[in-house]
Amino acid sequence: MMWLIFALAFWAGAWALNAALARSRWRDTRVVRIAVPVLFGVTLLVLWEGMVRGLGVSPVILPAPSVVAQTFAASTETLWEDFRQTVLKGALTGFAIGASAALLTSVAIDRSAFLTRGLLPIGNFVAALPIIGIAPILVSWFGFDWQSKAAVVVVMVFFPILVNTVQGLRETDAMQRDLMRTYAAGYWHTLLKLRLPAAMPFIFNGLKIATTLALIGAIVAEYFGSPTRGMGFRISTGVGSLSIDLVWAEIAVAALAGTAFYSLVALAERAVTFWHPSQRRR
Amino acid sequence: MNETIIDAQGLDLTFQTNDGPVHALKDVSLTIGKGDFVSFIGPSGCGKTTFLRCIAGLETPTGGSLSVNGMTPDEARRKRAYGYVFQAAGLYPWRTIAKNVKLPLEIMGFSREEQERRADRVLELVDLKGFGAKYPWQLSGGMQQRASIARALAFDAGILLMDEPFGALDEIVRDHLNEQLLALWARTEKTIGFVTHSIPEAVYLSTRIVVMSPRPGRITDVIESPLPKERPLDIRDTPEFLDVAHRVREGLRAGHAYDG
Amino acid sequence: MRAALPVLTVLAAILLLWYLAVAPMNIRGALDLAERSGRAVTPETPLARQDVSVWRLMAQNPGQIAAAYELDRPRLPTPQQVGGELWKTTGEMALRGRAMSKRSLIYHAAVTLRSTLWGFVLGTALGILGAVAIVYSRVVDMSLMPWAIISQTIPIVALAPMIIVLSSQLGIEGRGVPKAIIAAYLCYFPVLVGMVKGLRAPAPSQLDLLQTYSASGLQVFLKLRLPSSVPYLFTSLKIGIAASLVGTIVGELPTGAISGLGARILIGDQFGTPLAIWAALLAAALMAGALVTLLDLLQRITLKRMGMQA
Ligand SMILES: Nc1ncnc2c1ncn2[C@@H]1O[C@H](COP(=O)(O)OP(=O)(O)OP(=O)(O)O)[C@@H](O)[C@H]1O
Ligand SMILES: [Mg+2]
């Protein structure tokens, strides 16, 4: 009971502090901008811990964050092995292949207005489909190891990046194209100096969507068969054998990996498209 | 007259649009000599931009003949005979001002040192020395437009085509840029085609003012300016200046009467 | 018509490539089958064939290529086979009055659709409420928005088995609820982002105008912010419903569910009946297409009524 009351009190206090910070005159400083969401996150964790302890929830149902943290620390070796198998081999390889293929395809089909008009609606449609369902097929084609996971990721990331890139390559305005014509610039000059840079915000939009899809694809594909390592493997066997704390540790790894991957792409975006109005600092 | 640079005879251009043909240029004949500063003035839609784009080889006339430096406009475009300044500055936001100015030089294959040298020179010419490392969005509208002029000057084409380059700027900045443009023209002896909506601007800058009128777009009057080449800003208060301005206004009015 | 021609051409090209790929994909299976039924194939044993490329196999056994297009358990079925299987498990069963039998894809599609729609409704409601809170409260904006973004970088599939275990432990009957939760998790984010954009779309001058009428906060919301957000809302709803379907199918995949399109995929995998997987995939694709098209239609009608689109 004490725990429950403490958690609720912490929550109320943190919220009041956040509200005060958001109204204070430092509200636009970097520190406050980071402190407020961090405090909110900590509050959620404290609430979770308090609920589990206060209500005496069985660790087989929902372990407390502190228990998950202990398991995390105790099984770093397993977690690292799974991370390498699923994220580094499956997701990142697939992401790299899929993204390069999508970029090259976009540039290739972009030369033909006919192809573009034909592929764009289809690409848009396919990007909205539950492509994840092909995982079992690709696992049966490419085997249990990471290659089949990478294949699933390739297919999943291909269409969102393709659609965004093709769209972006068409984003230049008539005046910018005319300017290149007054220089008698050829196809490659126009592509490299005008159209690709102008398309970058769109390309990064596709890449950011693809980061999440890549991890989802790599994990789900493991539910359909994998060697005895990998995050998806560990989660599905962990649920079966009631080692729920390890499952939550894997979830934490997945969350960290997903956030880190996304942040990396977002950082690259910031560096490349610093000129875009949405990225300029005030 | 001095050597002919641009020669248009009986030029016609009809756009096929969804609501039928638009006669943008009809029987336009004009010769522009080396070192001329020719302004085009006329109501909206009378084909000023279209004519300039024809000269630049960006639009293909449907009739008549047009030569630039004795070549077809398209050949002249491929020989990079002119610099074009659009109504909006149109700088690439991902390039610094200096890199924007170097864009045509990169495409035309100038060496790195030459690019540096020329960028420095033209940025100085338009009074933007020291702003090379800035990005376009960090500059005012007038500075951006000057940068776009520098970009058009960078590769030393003999002809400068400008489509309402100062249209979006306020009077003061505009006066200042007009003065600078005249000085630049005097120094470089370029041939300039200049579209504007402002009578004082046209009179102040030009050696010749071409008055156009719409539907169909055509030339209704060509006024030779008696003003000397040396023109301080206050020349705009002299009787000669006002007289030319008056004739331009009359010409514009006549075009309208014909239209109505 | 001008818009349809390129699309149809590309579709035709894709189908053609698909057909062409079937032979190399299935030739090994076809040869194994032929060998077992006693026909002569070169090389003679599966082991010997293992190191020979599919192109050589096709060249050496031209008589068996046709069989590659008619396998019962193909590695890659022909479009025809997939269509046939889909018809067999939908239209044909419906004609025999067994549309809702457990072997009918219509039944499974209905199960998936139900969770998808629940997830969609739940996710949309959360998204809209969240957006209103974010637009009107600075604290919520500052504390919630970063976490909303982070929540989407977390691969939900890692959580899916846990959500299912948790809800069954909490005594929630049936698999519909956890699937709907996963669907809502994927659906709420695009709605939230779109609505925040939409509610903030009015220009300061438009807001100032209402200020001069001294309109109340509620009036500003109802007369300006809400209407301006409608185009954004529909665009996000289309993304949201597609995400919701993905979420439902993800929720059906890893958990030993027995009904739903995702479960059909799982079962097809476990029992080695690839045609069932492909038919379920096609059904899911058709469902996604239908749902998005429906929302698109709704968008057009609504925006036309509101005078926002010709
Ligand atoms: N690409 C095009 N397609 C169809 N019609 C065009 C096109 N470009 C110009 N026109 C038409 O040709 C006519 C002349 O246009 P132009 O742009 O040359 O006018 P302008 O004199 O430059 O006008 P403004 O002063 O407004 O810039 C107009 O009626 C315009 O609608
Ligand atoms: Mg114009």
Query: Among all residues of chain A, which has the CA nearest to that of C157?
Result: A216
Contact C138 A248 (CB under 8 A): no
According to the model, what pLDDT value does residue A223 have?
A: 84
Can you give the CATH number for the domain in which A86 is found? 1.10.3720.10
Dist. CA C66–CA C7, nearest whole Å: 30
Omega within 30 of 0 (cis) for the link into C43: yes
Specify whether A124 is located in the same domain as A33.
no
The mean of the pLDDT values for chain C is 84
Omega within 30 of 0 (cis) for the link into A59: no
Closest CA to A139 of A147, A148, A131, A130: A148
Q: Residue B21: nearest ligand to its CA?
A: 1
Specify whether B9 is located in the same domain as B97.
no
For chain C, positions 121-140, list CB contacts with chain A under 8 A: 138-139
User: pLDDT tens for residues C168-198?
Assistant: 777 776 677 888 888 998 899 889 988 998 8
The phi, psi pair for B20, rounded to 5°, reads 90, 175
According to the model, what pLDDT value does residue B259 have?
A: 47
B55 CA to chain A: closest CA distance, Å? 11
Residues of B in contact with A178 (CB under 8 A): 53, 58, 84, 86
Is the confidence at residue C255, as pLDDT, over 70? no
| Between residues B251 and B1, the one the model is more confident about | B251
Specify whether A53 is located in the same domain as A93.
no
Confidence category of residue C127, pLDDT binned at 50, 70, 90: very high
Q: Residue B51: nearest ligand to its CA?
A: 1
What's the whole-number mean pLDDT along residues C224-253?
Answer: 88
User: pLDDT tens for residues C100-121?
Assistant: 777 788 888 998 999 999 999 9
**Does residue A12 lie within any of the structural domains?**
yes
Residue nearest to atom 1 of ligand 1 (CA): B15
Query: Among all residues of chain A, which has the CA nearest to that of C244?
Result: A130
Domain that residue A102 falls in: 71-279
Residue nearest to atom 16 of ligand 1 (CA): B47
Our mutation pick for probing the ligand 1 site, out of B11, B13, B49, B196, counting the most ligand atoms within 8 A of Cβ, is: B49
Specify whether B126 is located in the same domain as B20.
no
Can you give the CATH number for the domain in which B47 is found? 3.40.50.300
According to the model, what pLDDT value does residue C1 have?
A: 60
Specify whether A130 is located in the same domain as A53.
no
User: pLDDT tens for residues A117-129?
Assistant: 888 888 888 888 8
Dist. CA A17–CA A168, nearest whole Å: 43
C215 CA to chain A: closest CA distance, Å? 24
Specify whether B172 is located in the same domain as B244.
yes
User: pLDDT tens for residues B126-145?
Assistant: 888 899 999 998 998 889 98
Tokens, residue C224: 């300006």
Confidence category of residue A281, pLDDT binned at 50, 70, 90: low
Is the confidence at residue C256, as pLDDT, over 70? no
Specify whether A29 is located in the same domain as A158.
no
Dist. CA C101–CA C109, nearest whole Å: 12
Specify whether B104 is located in the same domain as B25.
no
The 3-class secondary structure across chain B, one letter per residue, is CCCEEEEEEEEEEEEEECCEEEEEEEEEEEEEECCCEEEEECCCCCCHHHHHHHHCCCCCCCEEEEEECCECHHHHHHCCCEEEECCCCCCCCCCCHHHHHHHHHHHCCCCHHHHHHHHHHHHHHCCCCCCCCCCHHHCCHHHHHHHHHHHHHCCCCCEEEEECCCCCCCHHHHHHHHHHHHHHHHHHCCEEEEECCCHHHHHHHCCEEEEEECCCCEEEEEEECCCCCCCCHHHHHCHHHHHHHHHHHHHHHHHHHHHC
Look up the pTM and report it: 0.84
Dist. CA A19–CA A23, nearest whole Å: 6
Contact C253 A239 (CB under 8 A): no
Give the three-state DSSP class for C49: helix
Domain that residue B101 falls in: 89-156
**How many structural domains does chain A have?**
2
Q: Give me Rg for the CA atoms of chain C.
A: 26
**Does residue A149 lie within any of the structural domains?**
yes
**Does residue A258 lie within any of the structural domains?**
yes
Could you tell me if C1 lies within 8 Å of chain A, comparing CB atoms?
no
Q: Which domains does chain C have, with CATH numbers?
A: 4-76 (no CATH), 105-305 (1.10.3720.10)
According to the model, what pLDDT value does residue B260 have?
A: 42
Residues of A in contact with C7 (CB under 8 A): 117-118, 121-122
Is the confidence at residue B164, as pLDDT, over 70? yes
